[in-house]
């Protein structure tokens, strides 16, 4: 057992599945193919396997399993994933049998697995390894197999794109006189899959939205000096994009499930405020909540709770946590500070479809713009454009809704990041002893300050976050806390 724990630190199913340098992932992919097949047999439904490392450098790759409703798999199955990924080759069969027994899986059951990949060069062979895993298991069992292969992530299908386009046109028809300035949007495609989708959509929306695409994948490297993470963490514009004052610009990440608008990241605030107003106008008594993580700027939390009187919940990092918390409300708006997120709606809210008065009609069309499965940068972009259009707002006015507290994020390399244990939605540490006390006393030296540390679930680093009343103070606090971690 002790030996297994030691091994399991090597690859753990983290915030968004396994993620590391692509050269180390071949066997992990094969095993995720095996596990997805088992999960499909167990649920009697289609299971997705996504080969991507999102905003990480192009050299990295990763894999995550997507459960029957588009959500991440349960903690128990994440545990099986970690176990399979770390088992020595000789023990693989036993490990598989263990899952089959524990979950009482009938191997005669048909399996259906869909594999998707992003545009990274390594994704080609790694997704093939997933398929090999699926085939390996199926050729040894009696079950029939349906296997789909999706060449792109997110709304690959033409129909889905058309649905978004037509909902956007409907919303737009409420405010037809948008000026050219208001229609112009600069899009940084991060040289990834989002670029391909924006290219496709551009032609259908010429009248309503003038999209200028940068980092379209024709020459640059994925996520290199561009993309949502670069813009958010470095607080710089992406390479190749020349922004003039007042222009709206947004960046996808490598797999286009995340979007950042500059110079404002209060996406959840904008959307929840707008939806709340529409609900009031339509006379609908639905509970709306915003789900954030510890990385949400303290000002946005205060604004939502105190001014907008919206329910705010805080969860651990990663959309899988936010998504589940959001589903507890009629309408749950969830965005991580880095742009991952969407809006979920309880299936019981069907009367949104029957009341066709003006506000409700608008609400219905707005809701149709939302991709309720986990994260879709292109649908988020159209949703934000719709809200700005309807409210006649510029990015400057959006930015002025509230003022972010200056903040700083740092990464610290340590020998073993797993020694840091956290609690309270990762806002406090429980181990190693004394660390939280040290952070508390550093925070007390700054004004309006907040700071926390947590081990990353996608990189071999500890993340440090700090905010305070001035940038100098936030920078100093982040630095001091880094030293306490080190
Ligand atoms: P980790 O590495 O666990 O902090 C990062 C992001 C998450 C999420 C995941 C998955 C930050 C601070 N963390 O997780 O929000 O996007 O990657 O892609 O941005
Ligand atoms: Zn992503």
Q: Flag whether pLDDT at 140 surpasses 70.
A: no
What is the C-alpha to C-alpha distance for residues 51 and 288, in angstroms, rounded to an integer? 33
Nearest CA to ligand 1 atom 16: 318
pLDDT digits (tens, 9 = 90+) for 176-203: 777 877 788 999 999 998 898 898 888 8
What is the C-alpha to C-alpha distance for residues 231 and 251, in angstroms, rounded to an integer? 8
Report the pLDDT averaged over residues 58-65.
Answer: 95
42 within 8 A of 105, measured Cβ to Cβ? yes
Confidence class of residue 143 from pLDDT cuts 50, 70 and 90?
A: very low
Q: Flag whether pLDDT at 330 surpasses 60.
A: yes
379 within 8 A of 267, measured Cβ to Cβ? no
Q: Locate the ligand 1 atom nearest the alpha carbon of residue 233 and give its number.
A: 19
pLDDT digits (tens, 9 = 90+) for 290-303: 999 999 999 899 98
pLDDT of residue 374: 62
- b/e per residue 22-36 (b: at least 16 CB within 10 A): beebebbbbbbbbbb
Q: Mean pLDDT over all residues of the chain?
A: 86
From the CA of 304, how far away is ligand 1's center (Å)? Answer: 23
**Candidate from 32-36, 98-102, 242-246, 361-365 with smallest mean pLDDT:** 242-246
Is the domain covering 267-376 a CATH 1.25.40 domain? no
Ligand lying nearest the CA atom of residue 339: 1
Q: Which residue has the higher pLDDT, 161 or 213?
A: 213
Confidence class of residue 7 from pLDDT cuts 50, 70 and 90?
A: very low
Q: Which residue has the higher pLDDT, 10 or 27?
A: 27
What is the C-alpha to C-alpha distance for residues 217 and 232, in angstroms, rounded to an integer? 20
Percent residues over pLDDT 90 in the chain = 53
2-150, what's its fold? Alpha-D-Glucose-1,6-Bisphosphate; Chain A, domain 3 (3.40.120)
DSSP string computed for 85-126: HHS-GGGHHHHHHHHHHHTT--TTS-EEEEEEE-S-TTHHHH
From the CA of 202, how far away is ligand 2's center (Å)? Answer: 22
Consult the annotation and say whether 108 binds a ligand. no
pLDDT of residue 236: 82
Confidence class of residue 286 from pLDDT cuts 50, 70 and 90?
A: confident
Q: Where in the chain is the domain with CATH 3.40.120.10?
A: 2-150
Q: Which residue has the higher pLDDT, 44 or 12?
A: 44
Say what the ipTM of the complex is: 0.96
- Indicate the helix (H) or strand (E) that contains 3: helix 2-8
Mutate to test the pocket of ligand 1, among 318, 341, 377, 478 (most ligand atoms within 8 A of CB): 318
pLDDT of residue 147: 44
DSSP string computed for 146-167: EEEEESSSSS-SHHHHHHHHHH
Consult the annotation and say whether 376 binds a ligand. no
Confidence class of residue 128 from pLDDT cuts 50, 70 and 90?
A: very high
Q: Flag whether pLDDT at 142 surpasses 70.
A: no
Count CB-CB contacts under 10 A for residue 471: 14
Q: Flag whether pLDDT at 149 surpasses 50.
A: no
Q: What are phi and psi of 179, to 5 degrees?
A: -75, 165
Q: Nearest CA to 213 among 230, 228, 196? A: 196
Q: Locate the ligand 1 atom nearest the alpha carbon of residue 54 and give its number.
A: 18
407-485, what's its fold? TATA-Binding Protein (3.30.310)
Consult the annotation and say whether 258 binds a ligand. no
- Indicate the helix (H) or strand (E) that contains 43: helix 26-43
Q: Which residue has the higher pLDDT, 149 or 367?
A: 367
Ligand lying nearest the CA atom of residue 190: 2
Q: Flag whether pLDDT at 27 surpasses 90.
A: yes
Report the pLDDT averaged over residues 391-415.
Answer: 88
Q: How far apart, in Å, are the Cα atoms of 270 and each of 85, 300, 387, 430?
A: 41, 10, 8, 35
What is the C-alpha to C-alpha distance for residues 275 and 222, in angstroms, rounded to an integer? 34
Q: Is the dihedral of CA 174, 177, 182, 188 positive or negative?
A: positive
Consult the annotation and say whether 19 binds a ligand. no
pLDDT of residue 266: 66
Catalytic residue among 22, 54, 112, 379: 54
Q: Which residue has the higher pLDDT, 435 or 243?
A: 435
Confidence class of residue 71 from pLDDT cuts 50, 70 and 90?
A: confident
From the CA of 89, how far away is ligand 1's center (Å)? Answer: 31
What is the C-alpha to C-alpha distance for residues 389 and 466, in angstroms, rounded to an integer? 34
pLDDT of residue 190: 95
Confidence class of residue 49 from pLDDT cuts 50, 70 and 90?
A: very high
Percent residues over pLDDT 70 in the chain = 90
Confidence class of residue 362 from pLDDT cuts 50, 70 and 90?
A: confident
Report the pLDDT averaged over residues 431-440.
Answer: 97
Q: Is 54 a catalytic residue?
A: yes
From the CA of 259, how far away is ligand 2's center (Å)? Answer: 9
Nearest CA to ligand 1 atom 13: 317
Residues with CB under 6 Å of ligand 1 are 15-16, 54, 295, 317-318, 336, 338, 340, 456-459, 463
pLDDT digits (tens, 9 = 90+) for 447-469: 999 999 999 998 889 999 999 99
Q: Flag whether pLDDT at 246 surpasses 70.
A: no
Report the pLDDT averaged over residues 89-109.
Answer: 95
pLDDT of residue 144: 43
pLDDT of residue 255: 87
Nearest CA to ligand 1 atom 17: 458
For the chain, how far is it from start to end, CA to CA, in angstroms? 29
pLDDT of residue 141: 45
From the CA of 312, how far away is ligand 1's center (Å)? Answer: 20
pLDDT of residue 377: 85
β-sheet with 341-345: strand ranges across: 311-315, 288-293, 331-335, 341-345
Q: Is the dihedral of CA 206, 184, 238, 391 positive or negative?
A: negative
Q: How far apart, in Å, are the Cα atoms of 208 and each of 64, 185, 325, 438, 459?
A: 36, 11, 34, 53, 40
Query: Considering just the CA atoms, what is the radius of gyration of the chain in Å?
Result: 23
Q: Which residue has the higher pLDDT, 449 or 369?
A: 449
Q: Cα 222 vs. chain centroid, distance in angstroms?
A: 17
123-139 and 26-43 helices, crossing angle to 10°: 50
What is the C-alpha to C-alpha distance for residues 138 and 265, in angstroms, rounded to an integer? 46
Q: Which of 331-345, 385-399, 471-485 has the highest mean pLDDT?
A: 471-485
Q: Where in the chain is the domain with CATH 3.30.310.50?
A: 407-485
Q: Locate the ligand 1 atom nearest the alpha carbon of residue 338 and give its number.
A: 19
Q: Locate the ligand 1 atom nearest the alpha carbon of residue 409 and give its number.
A: 12
């Amino acid at each position: 057992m002790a030996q297994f724990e030691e091994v399991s630190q090597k690859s753990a199913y983290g915030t968004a599945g396994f993620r590391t340098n692509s050269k180390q992932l071949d066997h992990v992919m094969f095993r995720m193919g095996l596990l997805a097949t088992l999960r499909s047999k167990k649920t009697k439904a289609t299971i997705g396997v996504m080969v991507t490392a999102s905003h990480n450098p192009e050299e990295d790759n990763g894999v995550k399993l997507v459960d029957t409703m588009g959500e991440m798999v349960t903690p128990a199955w994440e545990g099986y994933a970690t176990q399979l990924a770390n088992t020595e080759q000789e023990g693989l069969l036993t490990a598989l049998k263990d899952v089959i027994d524990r979950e009482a899986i009938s191997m005669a059951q048909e399996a259906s697995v869909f594999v998707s990949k992003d545009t990274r060069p390594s994704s080609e062979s790694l997704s093939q390894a997933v398929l090999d895993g699926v085939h390996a298991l199926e050729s040894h069992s009696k079950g029939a197999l349906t296997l789909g292969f999706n060449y792109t992530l997110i709304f690959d299908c033409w129909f889905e794109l058309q649905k978004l386009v037509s909902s956007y046109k409907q919303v737009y028809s409420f405010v037809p006189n948008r000026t050219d300035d208001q229609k112009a949007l600069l899009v940084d495609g991060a040289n990834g899959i989002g670029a391909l989708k924006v290219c496709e959509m551009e032609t259908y929306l010429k009248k309503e939205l003038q999209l200028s695409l940068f980092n379209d994948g024709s020459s640059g490297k994925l996520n290199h000096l561009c993309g949502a993470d670069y813009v958010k963490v470095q607080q710089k514009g992406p390479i190749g994009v020349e922004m003039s004052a007042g222009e709206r610009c947004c960046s996808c990440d490598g797999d286009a499930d995340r979007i950042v608008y500059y110079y404002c990241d209060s996406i959840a605030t904008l959307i929840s405020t707008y939806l709340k107003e529409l609900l009031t106008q339509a006379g609908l008594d639905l509970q709306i909540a915003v789900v954030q993580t510890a990385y949400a700027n303290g000002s946005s939390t205060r604004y939502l709770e105190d001014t907008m009187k919206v329910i705010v919940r805080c969860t651990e990092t990663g959309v899988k946590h936010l998504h589940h918390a959001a589903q507890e409300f009629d309408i749950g708006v969830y965005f991580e500070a880095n742009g991952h997120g969407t809006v979920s709606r309880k299936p019981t809210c069907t009367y949104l479809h029957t009341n066709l008065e003006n506000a409700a009609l608008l609400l219905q069309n707005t809701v149709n713009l939302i991709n309720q499965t986990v994260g879709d940068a292109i649908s988020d972009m159209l949703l934000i454009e719709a809200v700005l259009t309807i409210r006649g707002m510029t990015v400057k006015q959006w930015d002025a809704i509230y003022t972010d507290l200056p903040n700083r994020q740092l990464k610290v390399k340590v020998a073993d990041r797993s020694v840091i244990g956290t609690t309270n939605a990762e806002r406090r540490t429980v181990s190693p002893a004394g660390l939280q006390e040290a952070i508390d006393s550093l925070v007390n030296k700054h004004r309006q300050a907040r700071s926390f540390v947590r081990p990353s679930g996608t990189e071999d680093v500890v993340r440090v976050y700090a905010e305070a009343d001035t940038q100098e103070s936030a920078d100093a606090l982040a630095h001091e806390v880094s030293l306490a971690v080190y």
